[in-house]
Chains A and B, each alone.
Chain A
Amino acid sequence: MSATTEQMAPPKGISAVGLRKSYGDKLVLDGVDLEVRPGTVFALLGPNGAGKTTVVQILSTLIAADGGQAFVSGQPLEDADAVRAQIGVTGQFAAVDGLLTAEENLLLMADLHHLDRREGRRRAAELLSQFDLAGDATKRASTFSGGMRRKLDLAMTLVGRPSLIFLDEPTTGLDPRSRRTLWHLIRELAKQGVTIFLTTQYLEEADQLADRIAVLDGGRIVAEGTAEELKRLVPGGHIRLQFADAHSLDAATAQLGLSTAVRDDENLSLQIPSDGSIPTLRSVLDLLERSRVHAQALTVHTPDLDDVFLALTGNGAAHHTAASTVKESLR
């Protein structure tokens, strides 16, 4: 027993085809296909209510899908105990025992993984120091801050050395510092070869952590790819110049003479499509300098996942068709 828990199980990913789920007449998942390669970080991105948690609940054996097939870590979902032996789950709400201390929480997990007492203590001590919780080991989890609870939650998930972990919105509600700490811990895990399935509504989080990102909206995957691939799907990179009056705006527009520039008379601004590189910026500034046109402010906007998110998710049938063409063109 201890021999098998000692070494990391061979990493295997997730493959799911046509997952469907509805609650009553509310369709939550409408045929979700997913492919997560072993040892990678996969982010499922989507707005609130998109069905992210439902996907996690199905893949982690908490609930059964109404339709579809999935293998998790090489095991079919139907063989729930075989899947459970391979995975770790950190849910949206920290699942720690508030009346137990941090150490006792970890020892509880060790007992439930049938580690012997000595090995359990060793593992608990190791995780406490890895997660920087050693100083609070004997404090009750109910006294912990949100960030500490999440760290403990994640540490509990790792006691059994899972080859694949699900992180359902792991940093929702955390302050920026705790969020970065958790990101660091997640990256460390990824380095060790653990497959990570992450759901998030924070685009930066997906951008920071994930090798591949799928965008879930209205129960369907509307786009999938690397962060770079997704960013290429949407236009958005531009330089924005702000002027004090219409006269300057006119002058600048005339001087630049660009047909692609978008003029906004109401806000007295001019948007120039650009990759945001320094030579481009310099040429724009030089031009303004030479022609003595005074701009109040200049901002550079590079396309980010926010643009992708806003372009791909939302309501209405029109966007659904647009999104699926986007998805097709990606493949």
Chain B
Amino acid sequence: MSTAYAMRDSMTMLRRNLKHAQRYPSMTVSIVATPILMLLLFVYVFGGTLGAGIPHSGSGGDRAQYTNFVVPGIILMAVTAGAISTAVSVCTDMTEGIINRFRTMAISRSSVLTGHVVGNVIQTMISLVLVIGVALLVGFRPHGSALDWVAALAMLSLLAFALSWVSAAIGLGAGSIEAASNAPMPLTFLPFLGSAVVPPSSMPVGLRQFAEYQPFTSITNTLRGLLMGTHIGNNAVIALAWGVGLSIFGYLWARSVFNRDARR
């Protein structure tokens, strides 16, 4: 199967998945709504108190300070929530039997999953724009340059890409849509156990060590650095390594599950 056909088949599958997103908007809505509700919750409910506990760097009240602290974390949650919906869309294909149709056609095998993953990355980035829009409305005041924003979006795309491949693998193996929807849920909690909503330095020892070394922390810190001008240090390199590593892991995992014998 030539590369040209692989590209063409992937584009066909991508068009199909974008049509799905458009025709079945309730999934897209829930992907956007969850992080926005989180944002409002953290800013207006917890913001005043949590803001008092984080190291202040600029002017403004506790809540305003905290908004600037938490938004990069919320952005990460938006990416995670978006990416894991790949599991549901892939699993839906599996249960509807259309994947078996694709498998008996002389098409590029990877195109089926590539279409899902790329479609999901696009969908996630669109939802991200909405989340950032709401963040600006509630008082998020970033001071990154245009270049910083480009770098931030590139890193978020890489994260969405990596998590989409992992979710695709989970969706392929899930067996039911409920399982596909629940299995990747722990991923959405990982940002909480890092530097997304509070600095890890405030956590008890064991948790703090986990928080400092898990992938979301370096990604959160890099994002915060790019958008808010805090110190990035080696976080950028670690974040990039996690992104690339998770992409490769997710891709290989998904491919091996996809090529396994059809069940039933």
A113 to B107, alpha carbons, bound, how many Å? 8
Indicate whether B19 reaches chain A with its CB closer than 8 angstroms: yes
Indicate whether B1 reaches chain A with its CB closer than 8 angstroms: yes
Task: For chain B, residues 66 to 103, give those with C-beta under 8 angstroms from any C-beta of chain A.
Answer: 96-98, 100-103
Chain A residues with CB under 8 Å of B107's CB are 112
Asked if residues B19 and A100 are in contact (CB atoms below 8 Å), the reply is yes
Known contacts A63-B261, A114-B5: does B104 contact A97 (CB below 8 Å)?
no
How far apart are B192's CB and chain A's nearest CB, in angstroms?
34
Chain B residues with CB under 8 Å of A97's CB are 16, 96, 98
Asked if residues A98 and B261 are in contact (CB atoms below 8 Å), the reply is no
Residue in A81, A87, A95 whose beta carbon sits within 8 Å of that of B100 in the complex: A95
A94 to B106, alpha carbons, bound, how many Å? 19
Task: For chain B, residues 1 to 56, give those with C-beta under 8 angstroms from any C-beta of chain A.
Answer: 1, 5, 8-9, 12, 16, 19-20, 23-24
Asked if residues A114 and B8 are in contact (CB atoms below 8 Å), the reply is yes
Number of residues in B with C-beta < 8 Å to the partner?
24
**Number of A-B residue pairs having CB atoms within 8 Å of each other in the complex:** 64
Indicate whether B262 reaches chain A with its CB closer than 8 angstroms: yes
Residue in B1, B12, B19, B261 whose beta carbon sits within 8 Å of that of A112 in the complex: B12
**Residue of B8, B97, B104 with highest tally of chain A CB at under 10 A:** B104
Chain A residues with CB under 8 Å of B205's CB are none
**Interface SS of A by simple majority:** loop
Asked if residues B96 and A95 are in contact (CB atoms below 8 Å), the reply is yes
A314 to B82, alpha carbons, bound, how many Å? 51
Chain B residues with CB under 8 Å of A108's CB are 12, 16
A140 to B23, alpha carbons, bound, how many Å? 10
Asked if residues A62 and B97 are in contact (CB atoms below 8 Å), the reply is no
Chain A residues with CB under 8 Å of B24's CB are 99
Known contacts A62-B100, A89-B101, A112-B12: does B20 contact A99 (CB below 8 Å)?
yes
A87 to B104, alpha carbons, bound, how many Å? 8
Asked if residues B262 and A112 are in contact (CB atoms below 8 Å), the reply is no
Asked if residues B9 and A112 are in contact (CB atoms below 8 Å), the reply is yes
Indicate whether B105 reaches chain A with its CB closer than 8 angstroms: yes
Interface string of A59-83 (1 = CB under 8 A from B): 0111110000000000000000110
Asked if residues A94 and B97 are in contact (CB atoms below 8 Å), the reply is yes
Chain B residues with CB under 8 Å of A95's CB are 96-98, 100-101
Chain A residues with CB under 8 Å of B1's CB are 81
Task: For chain A, residues 31 to 90, give those with C-beta under 8 angstroms from any C-beta of chain B.
Answer: 53, 57, 60-64, 81-82, 84-85, 87, 89
8 other contacts beyond A97-B16, A100-B16, A112-B105, with CB at 8 A cut-off?
A53-B264, A63-B262, A81-B1, A82-B106, A94-B97, A95-B98, A95-B100, A114-B8
A-to-B contact residues, CB < 8 Å:
53, 57, 60-64, 81-82, 84-85, 87, 89, 91, 93-100, 104, 108, 111-114, 140, 156, 160
Shortest 6 CB-CB distances between A and B: which pairs?
A: A95-B101, A84-B106, A95-B97, A85-B106, A111-B12, A93-B97
